Every structure is written in C-alpha cells, then in structure tokens.
C-alpha cells in the first residue's frame, strides 16, 4: 500500500517560506513583489484559477493586479497591455492566463512578455534556458512535481523516469527537469506502448489529460507516481489520469487528485515571482541586493 503525497501540506510550507522571504526583501530593500495576471473573456476555469492566484499572492504580501479584458479584445490591444506591464517597475511577474480566445495568437502574447517577468516559465527564451540547463524561470507545474519528489526523498539520479504527455506546459519541461537530475527519461504519447513503458518506471509522471488512462496494474511495484491530470466524472467527482485505487496498491508514493500536484502550481508561481523581484532588484541596485541582504 502506497503513501499519499500531501501536496496541500507541501504547498503550504512553500508559501510560508515565500512570505518570510518577501518580508525580508521588503525590510531590506523596501521592495514588495508585484504579480500582474491578465485574463481574457469569461472562461469559468480561468476565472477560478486567476482568483486563486490573486488571493495567494495577496496572502504572502505581494502586490497583485488582475487585468480582465473582454473576449473580443484585439491582438493589438492585448499586446499593448503586456507592453505596459513590461515597462511597469512595480510589476515583477506577468502571467497571461491560458487558453485565450481563438482569434488571439497565444504564442505571440507569451513571447511579448519580458523573459525576466515570465513567471509561468513559458517564454521561448526561458524554455531554451531550461533545455540548455541555464538559470531562469521554470514552468510551475513540473517545478512543483520536482519539489514533491524531493519532499518524499526520491532522488531521480540513476532512476528510470517515464513522463506520459508531451505538452509544452508540463510534459516537455518535466522531462527536461528530470533529465537535469540525472534520471533516464522516456516521454510517452498517443503512439507509445503505455503498459510496457509504464511498467518500467521508477518515477511515473502522468499529464495526458485523459481520465484514468494509466491503469494501476501497469505500475511497477514501489514506483513513485505523480498524477498531474484533473478530470471531472459524470457525477462531478474529480479524478486524475491514473486509476488511483489500484495504483495505490502498487506505488510507494502517489499523489491524490485533488490535493496533490494542483496546490503546488500556485505555490511555485509565487516562488517564481519572488525570484523575479529579487533578480530585478539586483539588476537595478547591484549584486548585493535581494532576499536576505
């Protein structure tokens, strides 16, 4: 029987540390980290996410702004807002909530955010920095997964890691982060032999967006299982991409849905924003500035 990985508890510790460090930065430099979130249209899930992010930012003492634009906003008007936020010294982190309405070019909007203010870690420069192993903001969800592995004492070095899903938001950066920690990484997708690949995983991260895609019987006994998926069943219950009950019987550790990876995403966003504020402070005031100085 596996042990549950309590993402809520880990996220609470991360957020408490961010608040402590933000208070130190404010005391040392008179600087309060600022996070601006841009939301376009009335997508219900986006509204929930943005509200949660704004509340979390305020709870750790950040300045927080939500810019809500009409669903019919033009590409030019949206880019103009992003440019204004880029130039605002009080804004250290910018997050454009995805998805955007279909008439907007999301790639162009993400690329318009200054790389140093891209606290989502999606900018092409930051994606390239991750690929090359250089410093920079990292995508929040896979960064949160790495923290969960650390919390349960799972060192990826020398282990076989399998990532199910190859999205730019989770799958690809997840594979790169595991590779940087010296895991042997396999990325699976719709044309992979999932039962065979999953059965060899010491570390399994599933981010396919398909309800209970990975069956518990496929799990290698003793594997650490991280379920990134969030899917709603007909009865309204939330489930992940892994068949939880049977996987729990075989895994050493496993994240529940909800309460596993989800809380970590916002916690790591706050950490990225704090780091962005600290880096921008050092750029303006010199290398001695920043948290704890």
Please check whether residues 153 and 254 belong to one and the same domain.
yes
The predicted pLDDT at position 158 comes to 98
Range 258-266 average pLDDT: 96
**105/169 same-domain check:** no
Same domain, 162 and 243: yes
- Pairing mode of beta strands 231-232, 238-239: antiparallel
pLDDT tens for 88-104 read 999 999 999 999 999 99
Whether residue 240 lies inside any domain: the answer is yes
The question of whether 120 is a catalytic residue gets the answer yes
Asked if 47 is an active-site residue, the reply is no
pLDDT digits (tens, 9 = 90+) for 126-163: 999 999 999 999 999 999 999 999 999 999 999 999 99
The domain of 223 spans 140-262
Q: How does pLDDT run across 161-179, given as a tens digit for each residue?
A: 999 999 999 999 999 999 9
Is 39 contained in some domain? yes
> Could you tell me if 85 and 40 lie in one domain?
yes
- The CATH code of the domain that includes 192 is 3.40.50.720
Q: What value does the mean pLDDT take over residues 180-203?
A: 98
In a domain, 63, yes or no: yes
Are 110 and 151 found together in one domain? Answer: no
Report the CATH number at residue 98: 3.40.50.10860
User: What is the number of domains present in the chain?
Assistant: 2
Options 21, 54, 118, 120, the catalytic residue = 120
Same domain, 146 and 257: yes
pLDDT band at 284 (very low <50, low <70, confident <90, very high): very low
The answer on 163 and 83 residing in a single domain is: no
If asked whether residues 164 and 68 sit together in one domain, one would say no
For 29-39, write each residue's pLDDT tens digit: 999 999 999 99
Range 233-260 average pLDDT: 96
pLDDT value at position 31? 94
User: Would residue 288 count as lying in a domain?
Assistant: no
90 and 185 belong to one structural domain: no
Taking residues 197-226, what's their average pLDDT?
98
Q: Is residue 105 part of a domain?
A: yes
In the chain, % of residues over pLDDT 90: 94
Looking at the predicted structure, is the pLDDT value of residue 291 above 50?
no
pLDDT at residue 204 greater than cutoff 80: yes
For residues 217 and 110, state if they share a domain. Answer: no
Task: Write down the pTM of the prediction.
Answer: 0.93
| Per-residue confidence (pLDDT) for residue 207, from 0 to 100 | 98
Q: How confident is the model at residue 228 (pLDDT cuts 50, 70, 90)?
A: very high
pLDDT at 281: 78
In a domain, 18, yes or no: no
Residue 293: inside a domain? no
Of 21, 97, 181, 227, the active-site residue reads: 97
Residues 99, 164 within the same domain? no
Percent of the chain with pLDDT over 70: 96
Residues 153, 257, single domain; the answer is yes
Ramachandran sector of residue 137 (left: φ over 0; alpha: ψ -120 to 50; beta: rest): beta
Quick check: is 53 catalytic? Answer: yes
Give a yes or no: residue 65 inside a domain. yes
């Amino acid at each position: 029987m596996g042990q549950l990985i309590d993402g809520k508890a880990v996220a609470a510790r991360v957020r408490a540390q961010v608040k402590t460090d933000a208070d130190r930065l404010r005391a040392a430099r008179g600087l309060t980290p600022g996070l601006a979130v841009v939301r376009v249209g009335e997508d219900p899930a986006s509204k929930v996410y943005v509200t949660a992010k704004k509340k979390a930012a305020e709870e750790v003492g950040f300045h927080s702004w939500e810019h809500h634009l009409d669903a019919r906003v033009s590409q030019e008007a949206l880019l103009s807002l992003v440019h204004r936020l880029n130039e605002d010294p009080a804004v250290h982190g910018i997050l454009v909530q995805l998805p955007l309405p279909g008439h907007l070019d999301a790639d162009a909007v993400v690329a318009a955010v200054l790389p140093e203010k891209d606290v989502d870690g999606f900018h092409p420069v930051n994606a390239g920095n991750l690929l090359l192993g250089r410093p920079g903001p990292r995508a929040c969800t896979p960064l949160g997964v790495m923290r969960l592995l650390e919390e349960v004492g799972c060192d990826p070095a020398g282990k076989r890691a399998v990532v199910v899903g190859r999205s730019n938001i989770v799958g690809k950066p997840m594979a790169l982060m595991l590779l940087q920690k010296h895991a042997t990484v396999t990325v699976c997708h719709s044309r992979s032999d999932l039962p065979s690949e999953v059965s060899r995983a010491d570390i399994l991260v599933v981010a396919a967006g398909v309800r209970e895609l990975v069956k518990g019987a496929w799990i290698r006994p003793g594997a650490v299982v991280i379920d990134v998926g969030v899917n709603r069943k007909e009865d309204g219950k939330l489930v992940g991409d892994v068949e939880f009950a049977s996987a729990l019987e075989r895994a050493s550790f496993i994240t529940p849905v909800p309460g596993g990876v989800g809380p970590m995403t916002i916690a790591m966003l706050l950490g990225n924003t704090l780091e962005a504020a600290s880096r921008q402070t050092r750029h303006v005031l010199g290398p001695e500035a920043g948290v704890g100085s």
